[in-house]
Amino acid sequence: MSLSYRVAYVFLRNLYSYKRFVLPTFLVSLVEPLFYLVTFGVGMGAYMGAFGGRSYLDFLVPGVLASAAMMAASFECLYGTFVKIVHEKVYDSLVATPVSADEAVAGDIAWGSFRGLISGTLMMIVALFMGVAPAAVWRALVLVVFMVFIGVLFGSLAMIITSISPSFDFFSYYTELVITPMLFFSGVFFPLDNFPGWMKVLAEFLPLTHAVRISRAVYTGQPQPGVGWGLLGLVVLAVVVFAVSVRMMRKRLIK
């Protein structure tokens, strides 16, 4: 793999282009989590009573935080990158410069991760206003680092889909058949305790399950079982998925 400081140049290019979209994307990033927190957290939460001694909103916020970072990074590396390859031809001009195809892809994954971080952070700010704060300030900082990590993981996963996608339509297989179901099977909105055994096992194979569990442990300060192994598994997965995505994108870009 040919990676260097030039990854930052690709990130910078995205930052320049982002200037024009900052406001609309901030609005979207704010409205989406607000929607979840208000409908599920406040609306449904009123019927749920105490959740292990705390309000439903306390349970919900860390899960939505992880999934918001996942969503934003995924969409950026699906649609954002695809437009840059096929429609805008940004990659064509990039690979003719000293920036390598690998760096272009890594730069876009870094960018996707940054977009995940923005979404997650905005969401955390909304949660603060709703009275759900991380258990300590340092925990908020750990969450920031963790959101960057989630972004790299899911951005790279999305990049693999982009590398084989013939058109926009292809992405809906991934978003509808993988991302959306994962949202409901990973303990974002409710605990997995009441699932039948096989579904619990299945959920353990979903990366988002572990991401949510870690986010919840860090946010609330309440220890969760299996967090250490979960984190290790995610790190290994992220390394593998990143390497594969760069390789597959290189195949698409260099002919």
Partner 1 sequence: MAVLVRASGLTKKYGDLTAVDGISFEIEEGECFGFLGPNGAGKTTTVRMIHCVSPVTAGTLTVGGLPSGIDNRALKMSTGVIPQEINLDNDLTVEENLIVFARFFDIRRREAKTRLAELLRFVELEAKAGAKISELSTGMKRRLLIARALLNRPRLIVADEPTTGLDPQARHLIWQRLRQLKAQGATLVLTTQYMEEAQQLCDRIVVMHQGRILREGKPGRLVEELIGREVVEVRLPPEDDPRVLAHLAGTPCTHERVGDTIYFYCQDGHALMRKLLELDLPNTLNRPATLEDVFLKLTGRSLHE
The tokens of 243 are what? 């390497």
Contacting range for partner 1; rule: CB under 8 A; set: 28-36, 83-91, 192-200, 201-209: 83-91
CB atoms within 10 A of CB 77: 31
Taking alpha carbons only, the member of 211, 14, 25 closest to residue 94 is 14
Decide whether 97 or 222 has the Cβ nearer to partner 1.
Answer: 97
Decide whether 64 or 90 has the Cβ nearer to partner 1.
Answer: 90
**Site for partner 1, residues 13 to 72, rule: CB under 8 A:** 13, 16-17, 20
Residue 153 phi, psi (nearest 5)? -60, -55
Is residue 101 within the footprint of partner 1 (CB under 8 A)? Answer: yes
Is residue 210 within the footprint of partner 1 (CB under 8 A)? Answer: no
Decide whether 168 or 229 has the Cβ nearer to partner 1.
Answer: 168
Decide whether 100 or 156 has the Cβ nearer to partner 1.
Answer: 100
Is residue 251 within the footprint of partner 1 (CB under 8 A)? Answer: no
Residue 65 Cβ vs partner 1, minimum distance, rounded to whole Å: 29
Residue 5 phi, psi (nearest 5)? -60, -15
Residue 125 phi, psi (nearest 5)? -65, -45
Name the helix (H) or strand (E) containing 28.
Answer: helix 22-36
Is residue 225 within the footprint of partner 1 (CB under 8 A)? Answer: no
Is residue 224 within the footprint of partner 1 (CB under 8 A)? Answer: no
116, 72 Cβ separation under 8 angstroms: yes
What is the rounded distance in angstroms from the CA atom of residue 82 to the CA atom of residue 63?
28
Contacting range for partner 1; rule: CB under 8 A; set: 64-72, 94-102, 120-128, 190-198: 94-102
Residue 193 phi, psi (nearest 5)? -55, -35
What is the rounded distance in angstroms from the CA atom of residue 253 to the CA atom of residue 129?
45
Residue 248 Cβ vs partner 1, minimum distance, rounded to whole Å: 16
Decide whether 9 or 195 has the Cβ nearer to partner 1.
Answer: 9
**Radius of gyration, CA atoms only, the chain:** 18
Contacting range for partner 1; rule: CB under 8 A; set: 88-96, 112-120, 133-141, 233-241: 88-96
Residues that bind partner 1 (CB under 8 A): 2, 6, 9, 12-13, 16-17, 20, 88-90, 92-101, 254-255
